[in-house]
Amino acid sequence: MSLKLEKIRVNLQGNEILHNINLNVEKGEFISLLGPSGCGKSTLLKSIAGLNDLEEGKIILFGEEIQDIVPEKRGTVIVFQDLRLFPHLSVEKNISFSMDLKKVPKKQQKEIVKKLLKDVQLEGFENRRIREMSGGQLQRVALARALASNPKILLLDEPFSGLDEKLREEMGKLVKKLQRENKMTMILVTHDKKEALQLSDKIALMLHGDIIQYDTPYNMYRYPVSMEVADYFGRNNYLSGVVKDKIFKNEYFETKCDLNDGNYKAMIRSSSILINEEKDDFKIKNIVYLGDFVEIILGNNKKEILVKSSSDILNSDKFKINNKVGINIKEDEICYFEDCKEVCL
Ligand SMILES: Nc1ncnc2c1ncn2[C@@H]1O[C@H](COP(=O)(O)OP(=O)(O)O)[C@@H](O)[C@H]1O
Ligand SMILES: [Mg+2]
């Protein structure tokens, strides 16, 4: 185990921000803390690094309790979105700053800086001034500086969110490559679900100061523990129905399932629905063209359904606004949530 958080509670200015956080991170894992703005991601990251005091709980890093150790002696490093580089110093001086403090011999420092600059694809940039660099290059310097202090765990607080999409993806790939090559343990804070799904070994989904689900990206998307988790990954369709004798039934479809009798909501992702042009349960109300795919709103007097489909569906003559179509559901992709309301069929 690399990092273990036990019952972490954090108050800031009299408000309880983190309630009861538990988390286990294995050595060499890439973890994302994912969640909407204000849910407590940065607070948790800063608490691990010692920048917030705990009200209660333990932080165990490689077997050592560190919650009472000062930040600079914890073996943690945070890279923030604003990077906090020293603008008046060269790239080399920025990167070797922590090694200077540790009195690493100058010759060795130079060698390490050279290697790190190669790793972050900035070979030969030693003497460049910080103010003479682009946003993407600054990110790389900040990353190299963080790695230079050889942390036990690297903490990244949305460092890429100010970059354009292409650069953000490039930086994500670079970080992941460095993490794999060096078997580093990393925690990335992000509100970008795509970034979290692409990069993480596991995602900790945070809402309102708690971790709601901690799982692999696949499980998080495929088996969300609640509707809140499901909806964090996109707009979904919910169809209420009744299970009796292992059959889920509602007015649009019925399917086998492994649930006890009762009322349920079937959560169906927009990509789990196929348009059936032979049926006429719904009218096509809107079509939003998004390049590779289209989002289609179907509706009748009771229900609206969102369907995500490959754009080639637009080639069909029948596929026009106000025409009537039906739906087929990829039944093995449905998630069921218990529903306390009575369902009328
Ligand atoms: N220094 C602080 N003092 C008081 N409240 C804070 C402080 N920092 C953050 N908060 C509050 O804590 C909550 C979580 O903030 P934060 O951890 O920054 O969220 P996130 O990083 O998920 O966007 C927010 O309600 C925020 O207003
Ligand atoms: Mg934050």
> Does the pLDDT of residue 71 top 90, yes or no?
yes
* Distance (Å, whole) CA 74 – CA 66: 6
249, 241 Cβ separation under 8 angstroms: yes
- Residue type, position 252, single letter: Y
Separation of CA 80 and ligand 2 centre (Å): 9
Question: Which band of pLDDT confidence, cut at 50, 70 and 90, is reported for residue 342?
Answer: low
Separation of CA 114 and ligand 2 centre (Å): 32
* Distance (Å, whole) CA 331 – CA 236: 15
- Residue 340, classed as helix, strand or coil, is coil
- 322 CA to centre of own chain: 38
- 115 CA to centre of own chain: 30
For residue 77, what are its two tokens?
């490093």
Confidence at residue 160, expressed as pLDDT on a 0 to 100 scale: 87
- Residue type, position 281, single letter: D
**Rounded mean pLDDT of 201-209?**
97
Q: Is the CB of 343 under 6 A from ligand 1?
A: no
User: For 160-169, what is each residue's pLDDT tens digit?
Assistant: 888 888 888 9
Mean pLDDT of the chain: 94
Nearest atom (ligand 1) to Cα of 44 = 17
Confidence at residue 254, expressed as pLDDT on a 0 to 100 scale: 93
Ranking 65-79, 218-232, 330-344 by mean pLDDT, the lowest is 330-344
Burial 167-196 (b: 16+ CB within 10 A, else e): bbbbbbebbbebbeeeebbbbbbbbbbebb
227, 238 Cβ separation under 8 angstroms: yes
pTM: 0.91
Separation of CA 262 and ligand 2 centre (Å): 40
Q: Is the CB of 294 under 6 A from ligand 1?
A: no
Question: Which band of pLDDT confidence, cut at 50, 70 and 90, is reported for residue 147?
Answer: very high
Of all protein residues, the one whose alpha carbon is nearest to atom 3 of ligand 1 is 12
* Distance (Å, whole) CA 255 – CA 161: 42
> Does the pLDDT of residue 271 top 50, yes or no?
yes
Q: Is the CB of 12 under 6 A from ligand 1?
A: yes
* Distance (Å, whole) CA 76 – CA 336: 41
Q: Which ligand is nearest to the CA of 80?
A: 2
* Distance (Å, whole) CA 75 – CA 151: 5
Q: Is the CB of 41 under 6 A from ligand 1?
A: yes
Confidence at residue 52, expressed as pLDDT on a 0 to 100 scale: 96
- Residue 14, classed as helix, strand or coil, is coil
Eight-class DSSP state of 158:
S
**Rounded mean pLDDT of 3-8?**
98
| End-to-end alpha carbon distance in the chain | 51
* Distance (Å, whole) CA 69 – CA 43: 17
Of 10, 12, 212, 232, the one to substitute when testing ligand 1's pocket (max ligand atoms within 8 A of C-beta) is 12
How many CA atoms, within 13 angstroms, populate the side-chain half-sphere of residue 52? Answer: 23
User: For 155-201, what is each residue's pLDDT tens digit?
Assistant: 999 988 888 888 889 899 999 999 999 899 999 999 999 999 999 99
67, 145 Cβ separation under 8 angstroms: no
Q: Is the CB of 47 under 6 A from ligand 1?
A: no
Nearest atom (ligand 1) to Cα of 52 = 1
Give strand pairing partners of 288.
295
Question: Which band of pLDDT confidence, cut at 50, 70 and 90, is reported for residue 344?
Answer: very low
Beta 210-215 vs 282-290: how paired, if at all?
unpaired
Of all protein residues, the one whose alpha carbon is nearest to atom 25 of ligand 1 is 38
Note the CATH number of domain 235-338: 2.40.50.140
Confidence at residue 81, expressed as pLDDT on a 0 to 100 scale: 87
Domains of the chain, residue spans: 3-231, 235-338
Q: Where are the beta strands (DSSP E) in 137-192?
A: 153-157, 185-190
Of 41, 43, 47, 191, the one to substitute when testing ligand 1's pocket (max ligand atoms within 8 A of C-beta) is 43
Which of 110, 165, 126, 121 lies closest to 143 in space, CA to CA? 121
Separation of CA 37 and ligand 2 centre (Å): 7
Of all protein residues, the one whose alpha carbon is nearest to atom 26 of ligand 1 is 38
- The CATH architecture one would assign to domain 3-231 is 3-Layer(aba) Sandwich (3.40)
User: For 33-67, what is each residue's pLDDT tens digit?
Assistant: 999 999 999 999 999 999 999 999 999 999 999 99
* Distance (Å, whole) CA 63 – CA 48: 14
Confidence at residue 341, expressed as pLDDT on a 0 to 100 scale: 66
